[in-house]
Structure 1
Amino acid sequence: MGKRMVVVGGVAGGASAAAKAKRENPELEVVVYEKSGWVSYGACGLPYVLSGEIPRLERLVARTPEEFRKQGVLVHTRHEVVDVDYELRTLTVHDHAEGRTFQDRFDHLVLATGARPSLPPIPGTEQEGVYTLRTMEDGERLLKALPQARRAAILGAGYIGLEAAEAFRKRGLQVTLLEAKDRPLPHWDPEVGALLKEELERHGVEVWTGVKVEAFRGMGRVEAVETSEGVVPADLVLLATGIRPNTELAQAMGVALGPTGAIATDERMRTNLEGVYAAGDVAESFHRVLKRPYWLPLGDVANKHGRTAGSVIAGREARFLGVVGTAIFKAFDLAVATTGLSLEGALKEGFWAKKVFIQSRDGAHYYPGSGPLWVELVYEEGTGRLLGGAVVARGHGALRIDVLAALLHREGSVEDLLALDLAYAPPFSPVWDPLLIAAQQAR
């Protein structure tokens, strides 16, 4: 009998692990159990389905269960793994469609149980009209609700809150964004938050910062949000207040968590239990700037986790060497990209850090259509070692962040950045690239 690999969770990390393992070692029996009705989809695309830019949810699906089957991977949707007996190498699975429970066995197990919204303890959360945006099912519920909605309140001005604000405005809703901290994108430095706030307000989003949400008013259906700064009428509320890893199954079977609260893994995505791996939003990564475990629940990271675990299970040599915390998102016409540590983050971590923040352009000043572009560099005083940075632009110019991310992976310095031969032509950059201007100022 061939070795049997069972994957718990079939979205990004789990689907990648299954597909890669089967491709590398066709002898493996590969089975995926996913408790929702959807597998192998790009949840990062959900805001663009809500805005109408992507016409259907189905567009976000990378592979259907049928396509997996053709590859030799058995995918079971609406099947929830409720218990694992590690000693016996068995799982208890509940089939929600048929209402039955059965046992299965494994030689290799991949835990890809993802994360779930971290809901604030606010009275009235259970009412109709209060939503989260994490899964395809969440997307389906919101798509049904949007045509009837008039006023939306969004709690939390992180990535999801900001992307949803744009989506709801494009659907013609009045939108109020409520953030407990003093700025949008509160984990980054204030200059970026100020640019975001201006862009949101320019597109008709009301931004309330430094506000505490106290209750959701309504008689079974939400009608308003009570806050420390006043009442916001709303017939649709989106909770975008963060997520936390789904580690219950892992903990029950004796898998160790790391300092972040997600599953601890090594470079091969192995846990403390022989034959058990973790991938995606339930697992930690290694942060190459901080030199310690870090939780970065993003789709591209999940895919890399899964691919690594799948290769290792298939008997190949593969390692996931970590992250530097790179992210990019769009708020209306503004693209915001960050990597590594903000100045606030670096100082909190004990670095002797400084920053420069400059405004330049994404093309030569004389080139038609060129626009403003902002660069922040965070670096260590004395050594000049780069610790992080941000690029804000109106378009693809923000992808310059990848240059900074590459340097962070190699522990590069301001001097290393200055020495780079970067591309130049008037439609794409001034003769001195904005990154080089920032590096000159830092030096």
Structure 2
Amino acid sequence: MKIAVIGSTHAGTAAVRNMAELYPEAEIHVYERNDNVSFLSCGLALYVGGVVKDPQGLFYSSPEEMKAMGVHVHMEHDVTNIDTESRKINVTDMKTGESRTDSYDRLVMTTGSWPVTPPIEGIDLDNILLAKNFNQANTIIERGEKAEHVTVVGAGYIGVELVEAFQQAGKKVTLIDGVDRILNKYLDKEFTDIVEDDFRSKDIELRLGESVVRFEGGEHVQRVITDGGAVETDMVIMCVGFRPNTDLLKGKVDMLDNGAIRVNDYMQTSDPAVFAAGDCCAVPYNPTAGHAYIPLATNAVRMGTLVARNIMKPQMRHVGTQGTSGLHIFGMNMASTGLTETSAEAMGLEVKSVTINEKHRPEFMPTSEDVKLKVTFDPNSRRLLGAQVISKADVTQSINTLSVCVQTRMTVDELAFVDFFFQPHFNQPWNFLNKAGLAAFEQPQPEHAQ
């Protein structure tokens, strides 16, 4: 069996390591454009901010490790074409320029994603940077040392983490987003208001609800022009989202409208010889029972591992995802899973929610922090669909618990009486998750749900 793996960050690395262990007789070839594998891009802002001192800690594998497992590793090789009918790929050695054709019995597509670069006038000016891979992180650090004012375009996770890193480095920072609030894909307004107020208290300029019209400058960017005014700046980092790297398979396998590859429960595409995992494909999304594009490292490593389990024959199903994620910004801990009211509304789905404000542990303890928790559920079946939490105390593991609840189709009323321990160091006699269930239980219910 000859297996070709295209791309080796989270999903590709997980697939390769597991396949090499499970199928030592297989001939595994990895094709990677970069000169490294397995870079944890979710640690990019920590590296830029100096929290991570040794960048080697952000790599959890290496070409040498893969070669020691018997894998044929082709670094700095670009796959330029895939012929799914003849099961052949065209490959170019990026160092020598030489091209060749290789064959496969099974193809694993783990090409990941790439930052979106809108066609904005002046976007090619120097010091307008992307934030995705290790080399880009090094460029940001190098250029950031000389910059006095940094502008971040895009208020998702990476964008706000970079804002924190540069503010703590003593830079003046402006954050721009076309939506009227930050982190809108993960949290509802009552949560993002808290974070935005904290940003403003730290003299971070928020230009929300503004779209970038053009960039101005000589060789280097000097000014960002939005539909709301101008920002004088030394450096711009674009963080407006990611698109799946799937052009090689366009028209050859089923995809979502955005180009994300559809896979079945066993990570198989519509072509039985082609498997896909990670940021290049859509994942089964439990809150809606459909597919969604959720580029997270956690999804990628799980899917890559499942590819290895299923590449010879279907034997382990994907249980689906809730898109669970968390963030630590300026001492505030926040996390979410599943549907928010915002995302449900965007999908045209009707949901109900309950929000509670509690102390994370008894007030007779030396410290007791505020906790805001919001739980979203189906108004008819009462099934849990999502949750969000924010606190100075680290209670984010509660969202992992609620992720399991969503996955197993628990109702919000059952949540009220789940067995959680009590110990004053950690929580209250009634856990705040129970209290969310109780609050929902007290709301009027449809007759058939009672």
TM-score norm. by structure 2 comes to 0.94
- 1:298 paired residue among 272, 287, 296: 296
* Residues 178-199 of structure 1 deviation map (CA, whole Å, 9 limit, x = unaligned): 1211111122311011011022
Deviates further, 140-149 or 3-12? 140-149
Please name the residue that 2:355 is paired with: 357
For each residue in 1:135-166, what CA deviation from the matched residue of structure 2 results, as whole angstroms up to 9, or x when unmatched? Answer: 11211211211111111111111111111111
8 Å CA contact 1:157, 1:240 repeated in 2: yes
Q: Decide which of 86, 96, 99 is 2:97's aligned counterpart.
A: 99
Distance 1:349 1:88, change over 3 A: closer
Determine the structure 1 residue equivalent to 2:446.
none
Find out whether 1:243 has 2:251 as its counterpart.
no
Q: Residues of 1 paired with 2:380 and 2:29: CA distance?
A: 53
The one of 170, 173, 184 equivalent to 2:171 is 173
Bigger shift: residues 349-358 or 243-252? 349-358
Aligned to 1:422: 420
- What's the counterpart of residue 284 of structure 1? 282
Q: After superposing the two structures, state which structure 1 stretch, 312-321 or 325-334, moved more.
A: 312-321
Aligned to 1:65: 63
Change (3 A) 1:143 1:348: closer
Equivalence for 1:140? 138
1:369/1:185 Cα in 2 relative to 1: closer, same or farther (>3 Å)? Answer: same
Q: Please, which of 250, 266, 271 is the counterpart of residue 268 of structure 1?
A: 266
Give identity over the alignment, percent. Answer: 29
Deviation string, structure 1 residues 249-281 (Cα, Å, up to 9, x no partner): 0116x1221355300110111111121111110
Distance in 1 (CA, whole Å) between partners of 2:197 and 2:210 is 18
Kindly provide the CA deviation profile for residues 77-110 of structure 1, in whole angstroms up to 9, marking residues without a partner as x: 1111111222222211111122211221111110
Structure 1 counterpart of 2:402, which letter? Answer: L
Q: What is the identity, as a one-letter code, of the residue corresponding to 1:180?
A: G
Matched, 1:391 2:367: no
* Counterpart Cα distance in 2 of 1:150 and 1:179: 21
Measured after TM superposition, the shift of residue 27 of structure 1 is 0.6
Distance 2:223 2:359 in 1: 42
Structure 1 letter corresponding to 2:297: G
Matches for 1:323-338 after TM superposition, within 5 Å: 323-338=321-336
Contact 1:79–1:95, Cα closer than 8 Å, also in 2? yes
Deviation (angstroms), 1:41: 2.1
| TM-superposition CA deviations, 1:198-241 (whole Å, max 9, x none) | 22223332222111221112112011211222221111111111
What letter matches 1:190 in structure 2? K
CA RMSD of aligned residues (A): 1.5
Q: Residue in 2 aligned with 1:218? A: 217
Quick check: 1:375 aligned with 2:411?
A: no
Any gaps of 5 or more consecutive residues in structure 1? Answer: none
1:198 aligns with 2:181: no
Shift of 1:373: 1.3
- In 1: Cα distance, 2:384 partner to 2:140 partner: 41
Given the alignment, which residue of 13, 16, 19 partners 2:14?
Answer: 16
- Look up the SS of the partner of 2:307 in the other structure: helix
C-alpha separation between the residues in 2 aligned to 1:387 and 1:260? 24
Alpha-carbon distance in structure 1 between the residues aligned to 2:217 and 2:359: 48
Instruction: Give the match's secondary structure for 1:127.
Output: coil
Q: Say which SS state the counterpart of residue 396 (structure 2) adopts.
A: helix
* Unaligned 5+ runs, structure 2: 442-450
Question: Structure 1 counterpart of 2:230, which letter?
Answer: V
Q: For the residues of structure 2 that align with 1:260 and 1:442, how far apart are their CA atoms?
A: 36
* Other structure's SS at 2:354 match: strand
**Aligned partners of 1:345 and 1:109: how far apart in 2?**
34
Matched, 1:344 2:363: no
By how many angstroms is 1:395 displaced? 4.1
Code of the residue aligned with 2:92 in structure 1: it is H
Find the counterpart in structure 1 of residue 123 from structure 2: 125
Cα offsets for 1:382-411 (capped at 9, x unmatched): 432212110112242122101111110011
May I ask how many residue pairs the two structures share in their alignment? 440
1:143/1:46 CA distance change after superposition, 3 Å: same
Q: What is the match of residue 319 of structure 2?
A: 321
Are 1:413 and 2:428 matched, yes or no? Answer: no
| Structure 1 residues 108-119: aligned runs within 5 Å | 108-119=106-117
Name which of structure 1's ranges 82-91 and 26-35 shifts more when overlaid on structure 2. Answer: 82-91
Distance 1:350 1:79 in 2: 43
Quick one: which of 33, 36, 43 aligns to 2:34?
36
Instruction: Provide the C-alpha distance between the structure 1 equivalents of 2:85 and 2:177, rounded to a whole number of angstroms.
Output: 47
8 Å CA contact retained: 1:9, 1:32 = yes
Q: Is this contact kept in 2: 1:351–1:380, CA < 8 A?
A: no
Offset from partner CA, 1:15-44 (integer Å, 9 cap, x none): 111111111111111111011111122111
> What residue number does 2:152 align with?
154
State the AA in 2 paired with 1:61: F
The amino acid of 2:211's aligned partner reads K
Structure 2 CA distance for aligned equivalents of residues 375 and 124 of structure 1: 43
Aligned amino acid, residue 139 of structure 2: R
